[in-house]
Structure 1
């Protein structure tokens, strides 16, 4: 993966430099994906679905940009959406043309189908129906993909390759974000950067939201944590992605990591408190030291508002009051009208947003869906639930996690069936 790391770092840097030149941005995108397909063809053979998933993974850093380089609002079509649509099309066509490849469904896909149908009910309650349709259409690929997930079967070694690819892509982007942040602090602004309050140098690469990026950068932490590699390599990887998440100046990534680590340690302690007491104590001491260091680093970047709610609590109260007025159906899917009428953004909390926009029925359906995803993932890989839990915790501090792109990719990576699991010990081809 060393070659791929350099490959990603170069291209992600080029995209940042060409952001304002739409023609060069689009041409560099095409070159990147064509070059990457040649690499994936060697590593993944003729497995088209695996190659498309690989392309989705590496498209995440530019998934908030349109394919032409213009703002996404002007042309809401990204490479991420194209590759995801191709996977669905391949699976559907395969099932239609090959009798033995019948479409399969499980509890996750069935609930996802129900959500996809039901979501149009609260949508009709939107203040601006066209804005409501736009937001719901943005969720459509998410739920449709969940419906088709049971039909994606790839060899175990390919699944492990895709996880490695995800880690490598995030590491490469982390390094680009670090350089972007350093340039920003020295007066050179490229990509999505903003100076807030005179001291906060917000750095967002090409993401639409700094918190989205901060959470994305820490998302492979548990892939790395459970990876069987030398401890110093793990430490270096974690240091790079945490540093990049810090430099976005958004607190979401760090807070999600700390809370998830706390939950992990509590469960570990309950299981091992008696037979491994000294080890448990050492781990807790190490955890407290790490938390102190993380808080200290964060205070250096956001010295004035590290504990500030940024107005979130008031927004939560207003949102909950509005939900009580429309308990069953919510207010509909129209984020722009909500902001223009109330003067505040949609609540940066997944739970409150679900209740507010879709009502109690929609909330119950989504909770059921994610519960089933957790159960399914746990049955395939017990360690995978920590990756999903990290994102769900982070979603309590950012808006609209269903539109984050990487949530769906992570669900794909932890939910894919393992064909030929005996290949566990087969080494992947180095590229």
Structure 2
């Protein structure tokens, strides 16, 4: 394999994982960020992101001299004597006004480096971007000697390193075949199926995949509600579905709704793409509406469990929230369904105390307002009218549930993830309430 000189702009989940993993594959990588303190910490091998295996890869890359961190995109381009052969754009593309992706950071970086890039360099859009972004990047570059390709990431938070090094597929799209092949060759040691296509198709792959997963989650949550009404068991229903190879077992677990940094943003962006093409994508709209309803349903479950009525008052009711991150294995709070449910409970007048293994009591995030964060699950449970499991942290199963039963005012647990063993909870006196369970 040829060793390539690579610049990675952005050191978030995608950028840092991309840089560290490419360095582990033998490439020379320089990563850039605009946060000077973050660059200094990364240079010392200090990784702030909770991502298994990432800190070790960063340390190995630094020790081997294959991974370097600099301040600013321009510095990354100037770092190597002859400049980078490939430059990955891994900067944020947040949801903007009306749900459309905000590309201002992408455009700013391109304008900063366009006159610095060496002839023959390939600019890679790694961030999730709307269809047409590669063409827009080419327009901003005004460089016929620099190619642009789309190479979407398919990384799950909490398993990003594993996903990068064990990909289901590599997708690369661009108008210049040789440039696309050069980018695909960076991953040759991974032995994954490779899809070489045009840039618009590559850009659409990521949105299409994430929207399909969101639809699958909304579907199973709707089926779980039907199970509640009919007395069926969602676990048995999804097991029976999952053995069908056309469906599979993944993304068939009901919960309080889907969230995170990708699915909400990408479903909204897909609607924008469809609207721009004069196409009414009713499936995606229904998927989003079902997700919104699921969060309301969780609040109804809590009301019914605590007051005996779906519309009962939760005013000044102390509730213990177990789990606040959008899923287990990460400290990411962006668009967390747990926090969305918490906001609705707070609007209903409940007093909220939260515990999450990934959060400290001094954690700061706008959506944590109104929640008292503690670092002890038993302290969170003290005098609570109910425990609400909102994130599927495995360690919740291993808690001393007899001790929790003694701490709460009412032994009620609303398990929005069907995480716990109902028999264990009931054995120590808890009333266990799940989703889609008789």
Q: Same fold (TM over 0.5)?
A: no
Higher strand share: 2
| Larger helix percent | 1
Given the two structures, how large is their TM-score scaled by the length of structure 2? 0.29
Structure with more relative contact order (C-alpha pairs < 8 Å, separation 6 or more) = 1
Give TM-score, length-normalised by structure 1.
0.29
